[in-house]
Chain A
C-alpha cells in the first residue's frame, strides 16, 4: 500500500455531450473511472438531465459531485465538478467551448461533431487540460488548432 496522500483538487471530473435522443457524442474523463463506471454514469446522467424541464436550475447535485449542464440546439453539454467548485464559471467553460467549435466549424451543428469527433477532442485538449482551464483566450486556442491544421497541409504538400 502506498502511503501517499491523494491530493484532491477542484478540477472538472468529466464532460459529456449528448443529443436530445440521449446519444453520446463526446466524453472526456478527467478523473479515474472504470469502463463500467463510465457507462453507468453516462446512463444515469443522460436520463437525469433529459428529464429536466426548461427554466430549471442548471446545477444538480449528483452523488458527491455537482453537475452543470446547458443545452445548445440539439446538444446537451454536461460537466461534473466538485461540490465546492464554481458553478457559474463552469457554465461559461461550456459556452467558451461551444464558441470555439462554432468559430472553427463555422456555425457548428451536431453533425460537425459526429463527423469530426477527433477535432472536437483536439480542441478540448487545447482549452482544458487535466480538468483545468488551460487557455481562455479564444484567439490563442484557435491559433493553436490552426497551427496543427497548417502542419497537416504542410505535410501533405511534401508527401
Chain B
C-alpha cells in the first residue's frame, strides 16, 4: 500500500486495499455490500459520530460511487461536514456534494447556505472551496442565490488573486447556465480591465470569462479588443525568461495566448489602424517563430508552440482580410502536411479546410493537392484520412473536380466503412456542382452505386434521376449507361432502382439498337426482379407499365408477367395492388389514355440539392457553403447558334409542363425540348410548335416579340456604360438589380450576371435568355448556363454566359430578356446585352516606326473611319486614357509629337481571323471637339469601333 498523503484516513486505505485484493467481481460486490451495511448502521446508530469518522465514511461512499455503484444515502452527513470548522472535513464534504448531488436535490438549499457562509469567510481558502463547489455544480438555484455576490467578489480590490481566479471561472459557469441571474452591468469595464492585471493567472481566468461575455453582448465588451491585442503583443515579444512560471517549455504563456487569440475571433479585424497593425505584427511574429529552430526537443515544446500557431491561423482565417498572412499560413500548414508527427498532419489538414474557403488562399491550398491525395492513400489512421477527404472536398473547384472526384472514387473502393456514407455524399455533391458535362456526372453517380451501393442513400439516387429528367441532353446517355451497368452479373439494388426508373422514362432512346431492344431491356430488368426487395419490385412494376406505353410490341409479354399468380396474388399488398391496377390499365385504356397517364415525368422544380441538406445535417459545422470559386476555364460545351439550334438560347432548363394532353411522350427523342421563352400557345400545341415558332422568328428577324422598340427604358444608356468597362450594374428598378462581371480572353467572353431580388417576396418562374437579332447569330455563339426558377427575397443568384466571337463585324447588341412572376404579375425586362465588338480586342504595344509603317499600310478607304465630334463630357487627359484602356486598347506614348494626342493599337480576335486596329484620338480643348481616326485591316471594323468609341467622349 503506498504512502497516503496528507491527513490520511487509514480505514479508507484498508478498504481500498481490500477491494483491490478481491479476486472476482462477485467478491468485490460482497465486500462493498458489507461496507455499505456497516456505514449505514454507523450513520443510523445512536452514537454520534465525530467529524473524522463522518469524513472517513463519506469518503468511502464516494469511492464506492466512483467504482460505479449506486449510493442512495450519506448526503445529509456530507452536508453536515460543510459546516465543520475543520478544513479537511469541509473539503471532503464539498467533494462529495460536487460529485453526488444533482442540481434539484432537496438538500440544495442547505448546501447553498453553507456556500454563502464560506463565501463570507475571512479565510480565502474557504472562499475558494465554496467557489469551486459552485463551479462544479453550477445550478440555476446557485445562479439565483449568488448571481450578484460573485461579480462583486471578482472586482473588489480586497479580493486576493487566487480567489479572483476562481470567482471569474465560477461566474463563467453560472453565466453559461443561467445568464438571466447574473448582473455584471456596471462592472463591465472593470471586468475588461482584468486583462491588464499584473497576475497572469487572473488574466488567464478572466480571458475565458470575457470571451463568454463578449458572445453575449459584443458591443458592450468591445473595449477588450485593444487590451487583448496589447496583452498578446507583450507575450509574443517577451523572451521565455520574462514570464517565469508562466513559460511552458520555453513557450511564453501558451494558454493565455490561445485564449486571447480566441477572444479576438469574436470580432472583425480591429478598426483602429494602430491596433490592427499591432495585431498583424503579433500574427507575423507567431508565424516567424514557427520557422525558428526549436528551443527544446521535447514534444511539449512543439505542442505548446504549435497550439499558439494554429490558433493564430484560426484568427487569420477568421479575419480573412490579409492575403499575405493567409498565404503564409497556408505555406506553414503545407510544411506540416509532411511532418512526421501524425497529430500535426491531422491538424494541418483540418485547418487547410478552412483556408480553402477563403478566396485569398484557395489557390494556395490547391498547390498541396497531390500531398493530400497521397495522405488519403498512405495515412494509417482513419481519422487522418477522414480529414484528407474533407480537405479534398473543400479545395475542389471546376479546375480540379474531375481529378479529385476520380481519386475519391478510387479511394472509396477500399475506404473504411465508417466514412463511406459521408464520402458518397461528398462525391455526389462535387460531381453535380462542378459538372461541365453531365455525362460525366451520370458516370460518377453510377460508379458510386457500383463501388459503394450500400452507402448510397436515397437522396443520392433520387438526385441523379432528377437531373437526368431535367436535362434532356443527357437522357440518352443515361439510358445507355444504366443499361450497360445492369448487365453486370451482380449489381446493387440501388442500381436496379436507378436503372428501372431511367429505362422506364427514356428506354425508348436506346431501343433502336437491337442490342438494347425493348424486349432485351425488359428481360434484363426482370432478371433482377426476384433479387430485390419489395420497394424496388414496386418501382420495377411501374417501369413495366411505362414500357407497355413506350413499347406496344412487348405489351403481351408484360401483361403475362403481371397476370401471373406470383404478381396478382402476391402476399405484399402494395405489389398485388400495383399488378392488378397496371394490368387493368393496360387492358382497358385506349392507347391515347395510356399515353396521357404514363407520359414522361415533368421536370422537377430546381432546388437545393437534398444531398447537400443531408450532409449539412450530418456535419452542421463543417459544410461551409463553398464560395463558388472563380471559374478558370471556359467550358467546352458551347452551343453554336449557327448550326442546329434556334438563335434563342433559353437559360432555363425547366420547361413548364403545360403540354399535358398532347402526345409528346413519344417525341422525347427530339433534342430540342427546351421551352421557348415567350410561348403563349397554351397546352394543346405542345413543344414542337414552339420550337417551330422560334425557327421561324429567327429567319423573319422578329425575335419573339422583342424588337428594338420593345426595350425597357434606360436599356440603351446602360448598355453604353459597359463599352469601356467590364463590371457594374446593368439594370435596376424597385424589384430587381442586375449586375455584370465580365472577363475576356481573345475571342472568348464570359459574363457573370447577378440577379438580386430587392423585394420581400420570392420571384417565381424566373428565366433569362438571349436573342440574337439579324445576322448577329452568325457573328457570335452564345451559351447560357441554367438559372434556378426561384429567386428568394433578398437573394442574389448568378448566371453565367459564355460567348465566342466568330466574325469581326457585329455592331448590334444581343437582346437580353428577363421574365419572372412577382406577386402573381408577370414581369418582363428587355435589355441590351453588355457585349460590344471592342471587348474582343487585346491591346498591342508599338514603337513609333512600326506604328507609322502599319498605319500607312492600312491606307485603303474602306479601312479607315474618321469622325469629328463635340465633347459630351469634360475633356480630361487622364480620363481619356482610362477610357482607351477600358476599350481594350493600348495607349502608346511618344508616337504622336503632340502630347495631348493619343495613339493606340490592338488586335481584334475572332474565331476565324484576327484584325489589327490602330487608333488616333486628337482632342482640341479650345473647340471642345475630338477627331477620332481608326484604321483596321478589315471592313467594317473601323466604322463599328469608331461609332462605339466616339460615344464615350
**Interface residue ranges, A against B (CB under 8 Å):** 2, 4-11, 24, 26-27, 39, 53, 55-61, 64, 83-84, 86-89, 91-92, 95-96, 104-105, 109, 111-112, 114-119, 121-122, 125, 129-130, 132-140, 144, 147-149, 151-153, 155-156
Contacts and interface: CB of A to CB of B under 8 A. Distances in A.
Interface in B309-327: 310-311, 314
Nearest to B84: A155
Nearest to A6: B176
A96 B175 CA distance: 27
B381 A56 contact: yes
A132 B204 CA distance: 9
A133 B347 CA distance: 22
A95 B208 CA distance: 21
B31 to A, nearest CB: 15
A132 B208 contact: yes
B170 to A, nearest CB: 7
Nearest to A138: B245
Interface string B327-356: 000000000000000110111000000000
A125 B136 contact: yes
B62 interface: yes
Interface stretch (B87-95, B642-650, B789-797): B87-95
Nearest to B621: A83
B180 A4 contact: yes
A137 B199 CA distance: 11
A88 B63 CA distance: 32
Given A61-B386, A115-B2, A129-B169, A144 B162 contact: yes
Contacts of A125: 132, 136
20 contacts: A4-B179, A7-B212, A56-B342, A56-B381, A56-B383, A61-B383, A64-B621, A89-B255, A89-B311, A92-B300, A92-B303, A109-B2, A115-B1, A116-B4, A117-B66, A118-B91, A136-B201, A137-B246, A148-B125, A155-B88
Interface string B71-90: 00000000000000011100
B297 interface: no
A55 B162 CA distance: 39
Contact of A134 (B95, B169, B314): B169
Interface string B269-282: 00000000000000
A96 B125 CA distance: 23
B13 interface: yes
Nearest to A151: B87
Contact of A89 (B172, B205, B258, B383): B258
A88 B306 contact: yes
A84 to B, nearest CB: 7
A9 B172 contact: yes
A115 to B, nearest CB: 6
B254 interface: yes
Contacts of B172: 9, 130, 132
A91 B248 CA distance: 13
Contacts of B384: 57
Interface residues of B, number: 79
Given A89-B311, A109-B2, 10 more contacts: A56-B381, A57-B383, A60-B383, A86-B262, A104-B5, A112-B2, A132-B169, A132-B172, A135-B162, A149-B6
Interface string B100-135: 000000000000000000000000010010001001
B62 A118 contact: yes
B211 interface: yes
Contacts of B262: 10, 86
Contact of B6 (A55, A86, A119, A144): A119
B439 to A, nearest CB: 36
B59 interface: yes
B718 interface: no
Given A4-B179, A9-B172, A89 B304 contact: yes
B96 to A, nearest CB: 9
B311 A86 contact: yes
B2 A111 contact: yes
A114 B170 CA distance: 28
A152 B87 contact: yes
A122 B95 contact: yes
B497 interface: no
Taking each of A7, A53, A132, A144, which has the highest tally of chain B beta carbons within 10 Å of its own beta carbon? A132
Contacts of A27: 66
Contacts of B386: 61
B494 interface: no
A147 B125 contact: yes
Given A88-B304, A95-B300, A130 B200 contact: no
B723 to A, nearest CB: 49
Contacts of A56: 342, 380-381, 383
B6 A152 contact: yes
B343 A88 contact: yes
A134 B380 contact: no
A10 B169 CA distance: 13
